[in-house]
Amino acid sequence: MIEQDASSGGAYHLVSARRVEPATLIAFSKTIWPDRSADRLLSSWWMRADDNCSVAAIHRSTGVMAALCAGRPSKWVVDGQTHPAVAICDWYVAPGHTARMLGRRLVRHFQMPDRMLYAFSMSDDAIAYLARLGWVGPYTSALLGLPLPHVARWVHAILSSARKLDLRDYVVASGVLPAPLAEHLDRIQTARTGDATASMRRGADEWSWRLSICGERSYRFCLAFRAGEPVGYIAVRRLTPGSSRLLGKISGALLTDLAAVGDDSEVLSALVARATVYASRLGAAVVLAATTNAEHRRALARMGFLSPGFPLLGGILERRAPQYMWLPQGPAAQLDVSGVLLTFADSDVDFKL
């Protein structure tokens, strides 16, 4: 439980947002999203997570909720060492309570000397504010889209006849991670720990936590094996209709995550090709992927994904591409943008779309 700030004279105290009364959350939601569903916050992922994943500022004299910040927890491997990390998300200050340093206070609530702080898929206002707090960036990821994935399925057939990889499929539903899949994900993570890229740990613990707050969502996994050893995986699921501003009500799929030992191009290509099969079986009209990794982007482009450089549609993707920043302290002090891996799995984007 978050300890309340009992300092004398303070106008606000901090509590876990998931412990705030529903009526108070709804009233706050109305102030920050007057044109959206008033109970939106009640279905937020952090309502199903640990108390320490969210913090709210409550005005002492009125009991009004004045600000909110959520932190998506994870562990990151930086220079071969594992560190706790938090992705800042759902960060809002209500009108009438701005210019009181509440935003800074809530972000710093998640700050610890040994913890990496970052943010992925940020608004322009958040970017400007975090820049004033000393965060580096913003940097832009690549958002890629594949229209009509059923047309691209023939690519998978060609790769199937030529590859030296064993691809195995798993369906994960009802929040349960199958034991064989959990073991393979851990083996892939162990093999990737020595990679130069700084990235979130993508083993069984991470996916078990994710599934525990995702409700009834169903993920389709494909794992690639070479000589009996797992060397990469991909995760795909159906998009919630209407959750993406880019797609509106169009049926779509989300390439949630992609990882390969050593960023092996053959493995990445085979996995992306299998993702098009999954998206086709889901009846998706388009499948979206986001990444900061150049090898990922090349593999996606080889399978027909449209990149930001594509005429007309590429411009739409470029404008919608998630931006990211981090606080250059603790584990992230020496991070270089060329060595940071982020996908939809690394923040709360996957929980919302």
Instruction: State the pLDDT at residue 255.
Output: 95
Query: Kindly report the CA angle at 323 between 339 and 298, in degrees rounded to 5?
Result: 55
Sign of CA dihedral 88, 353, 34, 124: positive
Tell me how far apart the alpha carbons of residues 206 and 199 are, in angstroms, rounded to a whole number: 12
Q: Are 255 and 234 in contact (CB under 8 A)?
A: yes
pLDDT given at position 313? 65
Walk me through the domains of the chain, giving residue ranges and CATH numbers: 12-138 (3.40.630.30), 142-321 (3.40.630.30)
Residue 57 banded pLDDT, cuts 50, 70, 90: very high
| pLDDT above 90 (res 199) | yes
What pLDDT does residue 315 have? 66
pLDDT at residue 321 tops 80: yes
Q: Which amino acid is at 289?
A: A
- Dump pLDDT digits (tens) for 73-125: 999 999 889 999 999 998 999 998 988 889 999 999 999 999 999 999 888 88
The residue type found at 349 is: V
How far from 334 is each of 28, 83, 327, CA to CA, in Å? 38, 14, 10
Mean pLDDT of 21-44: 88
**Contact between 191 and 231 (Cβ < 8 Å):** yes
Is 325 a residue whose pLDDT tops 50?
yes
Comparing 165 with 4, the larger pLDDT belongs to: 165
Per-residue pLDDT at 75: 96
Confidence of residue 350 (pLDDT cuts 50, 70, 90): confident
Query: What residue has token string 């700084």?
Result: 198
Q: Which pLDDT belongs to residue 344?
A: 93
User: Looking at residues 165-173, what average pLDDT do you find?
Assistant: 93
Q: Percent of the chain beyond pLDDT 90?
A: 63
Say what the pLDDT of residue 7 is. 35
Place of tokens 């706790």: 84
> b/e per residue, 154-192, with b = 16+ CB within 10 A?
ebbeebeeebebebeebebeeeebeeebbebbbbbbebb
101 backbone φψ class: left, alpha, beta (φ>0; ψ -120 to 50): left
* Lowest-pLDDT range of 25-29, 119-123, 143-147, 237-241: 237-241
In tens, the pLDDT along 271-282 reads 999 999 998 898
pLDDT, tens only, 235-272? 999 988 766 666 666 788 999 999 999 999 999 999 99
3-state class (DSSP) for residue 93: strand
Tokens of 209: 């936590």
35 contacts: CB under 8 Å, gap ≥ 6: none
- The pLDDT, as a whole number, for residue 153 is 61
Smallest CA-to-CA distance from 207 within 74, 10, 9 is with 74
Instruction: Give the model confidence (pLDDT) of 125-135 as tens digits.
Output: 899 999 999 99
**pLDDT at residue number 1:** 35
Residue bearing the bigger pLDDT, 225 or 43: 225
Task: Quick: pLDDT tens for 35-53.
Answer: 877 788 888 999 999 999 9
Percent of the chain scoring above 70 in pLDDT: 89
pLDDT digit string (tens) for 172-197?
Answer: 988 889 999 999 999 999 999 877 78
**pLDDT at residue number 122:** 85
Measure the CA–CA gap between 16 and 32, rounded to whole angstroms: 19
Of 19-33, 125-139, 144-158, 325-339, which range is least confident?
144-158
DSSP sequence for 300-328: HHHTTPBPTTSTTHHHHHHHHPPEEEE--
